[in-house]
């Protein structure tokens, strides 16, 4: 399968396909999703992951849940759809795109006057397809707005995977990189491996390498040294949820990178589509941070790397305070502080 064209999420003739990202970088495996339970599991196990991609997968997951319910009348169809939306939403809590996409689909279907399950199902699928197509466009625009931040000779640090694989295409943090690369700008990316699940080395390094971008993979604890050596000129990361005051939830370790960037006076940018900006959450302290299983920390691959019975913490995300964010690269332009005002002005419609 062609590395550059394989998509994280695909909907073809009423069937949902998800790339199993847990098998990268060694195996490219695409799985047909047979049931809503399977979609829930694929999100929970990070087969599909990254905030925009789980939003799109969740929307199509609702279609998978409802495709054999088309004989229901309107009220029964709507009730079933609501139950399944709540179920899918329970798979992961931090990335707002999941609940955003599910709520959007549910709202659109409810607002439609159709009486039959058949017609309501078509409305549901059309909205999921709209979210999917829109996500490609949003990422493309993030690239357009962010590309001028990248110039010849730059070193760029990124954390986790906010790339094509985390979205429907282009990525968020990577969109300006892909566009700069297309335009012949020569730069180097340092991709933090992003313990414990290595989205940086398994996914970001994989997709940037496939696109011909100059990329190094580094362990998380090397970022400070790279900055000290003057190799990093800008940090660009993605996000799972931006609060109204500009606090940023992203993959665990992002906070440390932001503090380092501040110490070394390196600009720290967060790339995000409007669908990840949650103005209903006033500050980062309100964001629910997913705690994941112990095995991700006590094992490296199949091998145990911590003693039996050891106590473990495994928060999957952290919150970077708005004061450390130089700017948000969004589909509507680059947003600068004071974020409580500027985010509301740009996204509070
Ligand atoms: O646990 P993951 O792999 O879903 O975490 C993903 C991230 O933290 C990404 O940086 C974020 O979702 C932005 S994706 C454009």
> Which is nearest to 78 in space by CA: 45, 126, 110, 104?
110
Distance between Cα 43 and ligand 1 center (Å): 12
User: Relative to the CA of 272, which ligand 1 atom is closest?
Assistant: 15
How far is the centre of ligand 1, averaged over its atoms, from the C-alpha of 46 (Å)? 10
> Where do the CATH 3.40.50.10470 domains begin and end in the chain?
145-347
Query: Which of the 8 DSSP states describes residue 160?
Result: S
**Closest to 272 measured CA to CA, from 208, 227, 226, 328:** 328
- From the CB of 316, is ligand 1 less than 6 Å away? yes
Residue 218 near ligand 1, beta carbon < 6 Å = no
Pick the CATH number of 9-141 from 1.20.58.220, 1.10.10.1150, 1.20.120.420, 2.60.40.10: 1.20.120.420
SS3 at position 91: coil
Cβ(164) – ligand 1 distance below 6 Å: no
| Cβ atoms 250, 237 nearer than 8 A | yes
Q: Which atom of ligand 1 is nearest to the CA of 54?
A: 4
Q: Answer whether 238 contacts ligand 1 (Cβ < 6 A).
A: yes
Q: Mean pLDDT for each consecutive 10-residue tract of the chain (349 residues)?
A: 86 98 97 98 98 98 98 98 98 98 98 97 98 98 98 98 97 98 98 98 98 98 98 98 98 98 98 98 98 97 95 98 98 98 95
User: Residue 252 has what pLDDT?
Assistant: 98
Q: Is 290 exposed, middle or buried (0-12, 13-18, 19+ CB in 10 A)?
A: middle
Instruction: Please give the CATH number for the structural domain made up of 145-347.
Output: 3.40.50.10470
The Cα 173–Cα 170 span in angstroms is: 9
Q: Which DSSP letter does residue 164 get? A: G
pLDDT at 4: 76
Among 9, 251, 292, which residue has the most ligand 1 atoms within 8 Å of its CB, making it the best to mutate? 251
Residue nearest to atom 8 of ligand 1 (CA): 251
Per-residue burial over 227-240, b if 16 or more Cβ lie within 10 Å, else e, is beeebbbbbbbbbb
The pLDDT of residue 20 is: 98
* pTM, entire model: 0.97
Residue 271 CA: distances (Å) to CA of 274, 275, 338: 10, 12, 17
Three-state DSSP class for residue 244 = coil
**Preceding amide of 25 cis, omega within 30:** yes
Residue range(s) in the chain whose domain bears CATH number 1.20.120.420: 9-141
Quick check: is 240 catalytic? Answer: yes
pLDDT of the residue at 349 = 75
**Ligand 1 pocket residue status of 72, Cβ below 6 Å:** no
Catalytic residue among 89, 220, 240, 318: 240
Instruction: Tell the burial category of 268 from Cβ atoms under 10 Å away from its Cβ (0-12, 13-18, 19+).
Output: buried
8-24 in b/e form (b: 16+ CB < 10 A) is bbbbeeeebebbbbeeb
């Amino acid at each position: 399968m062609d590395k550059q064209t394989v998509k994280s999420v695909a909907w073809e003739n009423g069937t949902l396909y998800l790339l199993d990202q847990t098998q990268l970088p060694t195996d490219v495996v695409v799985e047909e999703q047979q049931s809503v339970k399977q979609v829930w599991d694929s999100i929970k196990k990070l087969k599909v992951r990254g905030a925009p991609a789980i939003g799109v997968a969740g929307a199509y997951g609702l279609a998978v849940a409802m495709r054999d319910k088309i004989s229901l009348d309107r009220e029964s169809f709507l009730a079933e759809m609501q139950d399944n939306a709540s179920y899918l939403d329970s798979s992961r809590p931090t990335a707002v795109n999941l609940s955003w996409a599910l709520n959007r689909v549910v709202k659109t279907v409810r607002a439609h006057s159709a009486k039959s399950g058949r017609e309501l199902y078509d409305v549901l699928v059309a909205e999921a397809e709209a979210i999917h197509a829109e996500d490609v466009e949003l990422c493309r625009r993030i690239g357009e707005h962010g590309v001028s931040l990248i110039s010849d000779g730059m070193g760029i640090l990124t954390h986790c995977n906010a790339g094509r694989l985390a979205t429907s295409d282009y990525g968020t943090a990577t969109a300006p990189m892909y566009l700069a690369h297309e335009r012949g700008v020569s730069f180097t990316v340092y991709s933090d491996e992003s313990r414990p699940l290595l989205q940086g080395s398994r996914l970001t390094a994989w997709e940037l390498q496939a696109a011909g971008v100059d990329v190094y993979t580094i362990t998380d604890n090397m970022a400070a040294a790279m900055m000290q050596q003057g190799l990093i000129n800008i940090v660009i990361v993605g996000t799972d949820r931006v609060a109204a005051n500009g606090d940023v939830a992203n993959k665990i370790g992002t906070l440390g990178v932001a503090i380092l960037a501040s110490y070394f006076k390196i600009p720290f940018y967060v790339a995000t589509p409007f669908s990840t900006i949650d103005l209903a959450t006033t500050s980062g302290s309100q964001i629910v941070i997913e705690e994941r299983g112990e095995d991700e920390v006590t094992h490296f691959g199949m091998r145990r790397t911590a003693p039996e019975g050891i106590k473990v913490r495994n928060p999957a995300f952290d919150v970077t305070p708005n004061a450390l964010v130089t700017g948000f690269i969004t589909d509507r332009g680059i947003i600068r502080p004071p974020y409580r005002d500027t985010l509301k002005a740009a996204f509070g419609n």
